[in-house]
Amino acid sequence: MQILQRIVTYLLTLFLTLTGVTPGFSGTAADFPRASVEAKTLLLTDVPSDGSALTLAAMQGLLADVSDKNLVFRAGKYREWIPRTGAEALETQPDGSPWDLAALLHEFAPFFDGYILCDEESAAVALTLANPKNSVPVYPEFEETAKAAGLSMTLDVRGWTDVKLRATEEFRALRRDIAFEQPASFSPKLVDYAVMCGAYVWYDKDANQAEHTNAFRFLSDGAVVFGWNNDIGEYKTVQSFSRLNVCMVPADHAHNLSVLSGFDLGPFEQKTESAAEEGGRTVCLMMSDGDNLQWFLGSYDDTSHYGSPIRGEFSFAWGVPASAADLASPVLKGYYDQMTPNDAFVLSLSGLGYTFPSKWPNRVALKRMAQTLGKKMEAMDVHELLVLDDGGFSSLALNTLLKGTNADGIFYIDYSDYARLHGKTRFVNGKPIVSARYRLWNNASGASPEEIAAAVNALPTDPKNPDSYAFIIVHAWTGLSVDGELVEGGSAMRAVKKLVDLLDADTRVVTPAEFISRLAENCG
């Protein structure tokens, strides 16, 4: 039966594409969708461990466009970002009882037209239809709670398949610039934003790569998919989207995005200052995985990373995702406020999201995406771009990104091995595209602090020699253990500190802007 359904899905998608009967929203993601209303009152609730999380998250998403009162899950950095918004946070109901499903349904039921009855197998269908139907998805065990709040059933989608969803007028009317890949079991993570956007939600743990590609084939060139796919894996997921001219935003563990997106705390301005001496070798150190929006919303500032007590002792670069200013402005504001003159932000990773630019078949779409990306970079006062690609260093795609974004330069890492190209550099109109010369990564040859420091200290010191420059990418999930061993899950910043302390006196550790400037001036 599953094989038959997948064949039908493929034929239906092919028919819709060939006949032009495709969803009516044809634009690309020029801007990430944001809530229409800035919340003034936030009702705080714990993250449920049962299926009520699906209903609560959908409520949050629907309310984001119509109400200045909403709910917020106690997750991520909520205690830090809420005060920046000026919104009132209500920990409990007036009588001291918690804001649970029954209380929140009673509070907000007048905003909804009803509920959609579903089970976990049909949850993605219910989430996709929630916005068009202005109805909250409800599992059977919570149906009486929904009725008690005054809601009636709009639709029963139990037994619905993705094939049946695609045959509806609602699917044909869906926007094509954004979609979501998220298991129902992850609720309330991310699905609030999916419902707010009124976008397609899909997940099939049994799908192969071809079926995964086909599921999103209806999207416009330049679209963005939020989520992740642990079943086919990182490489196949990114490859699949890249072949469709699509970016992916890792966000499958993100909470409260719909509410967060309603705030705008910009403009953002970096505090970076360059104070390094001239001459000698030049080194730029940069943390990986800055595109990870869920990490950015949560533990990015733990003591192993941005919250390290040694941050600021030396120049270091941090990635920020292109979606951060639109979708997490109050969180982004906190990172900028905490900057030291030695901190710098670069745009991560490869575009509006994670993608392999060299694999995009439509170069016009890539150019449009680059121009949009350039506007995001300008809004965040970011002038350098980190690109991860699959054998794409020499491709014209990087030229397109550099010109379209008007970036000052591109830092390149390769999927197969971040430092596979050993610092190879090329220039486009005098602007550098420089590959990682070394990567700090446990269980990799030549990738320990001691080995990298020894290699850097052996480089020439002539600034006119491209080999005197070293871009070093730091694997975010690698660091020093309490015993000083380089291990997975150790303190990344302590590992970097060890590396910096081992560098010779004639080695300059500089910011990305200074690195790009010196490379362009001396070697371009």
pLDDT in tens, 78-87: 999 999 999 9
Which residues are paired to 286 by β-bridges?
A: 317, 473
Chain mean pLDDT for the chain: 93
Of 436, 365, 427, nearest in space to 402 by CA: 427
Of 195, 71, 187, 191, nearest in space to 131 by CA: 195
Total residues belonging to the chain: 524
Quote the CATH superfamily of domain 281-523.
Answer: GxGYxYP glycoside hydrolase, C-terminal domain (3.20.20.490)
Of 92, 49, 57, nearest in space to 255 by CA: 57
pLDDT category, 278, cuts 50, 70, 90?
Answer: confident
Name the 3-class secondary structure at 353: coil
Question: In the prediction, which pLDDT does 29 show?
Answer: 38
Q: Which two tokens stand for residue 313?
A: 């002792």
Q: Report the pLDDT averaged over residues 423-430.
A: 98
Q: Rounded to 5 degrees, what are φ and ψ at 322?
A: -60, -25
Q: Report the pLDDT averaged over residues 125-132.
A: 98
Global pTM? 0.93
Report the C-alpha gap between 354 and 190 in whole angstroms.
Answer: 17
Alpha helices in 78-208 (DSSP H): 78-85, 101-108, 123-133, 143-148, 162-166, 169-172, 191-197
Q: Report the pLDDT averaged over residues 495-502.
A: 98
Token match 């990015």: residue?
300
Burial 3-25 (b: 16+ CB within 10 A, else e): eeebebbbebbeebeeeeebbee
Q: Report the pLDDT averaged over residues 158-178.
A: 97
Question: In the prediction, which pLDDT does 31 show?
Answer: 79
Question: In the prediction, which pLDDT does 279 show?
Answer: 87
Q: Which two tokens stand for residue 215?
A: 């599921």
Question: In the prediction, which pLDDT does 275 show?
Answer: 72
pLDDT, tens digit, 9 for 90 and up, residues 342-369: 999 999 999 999 999 999 999 999 999 9
Domain boundary assignment for the chain = 2-260, 281-523
Question: In the prediction, which pLDDT does 443 show?
Answer: 85
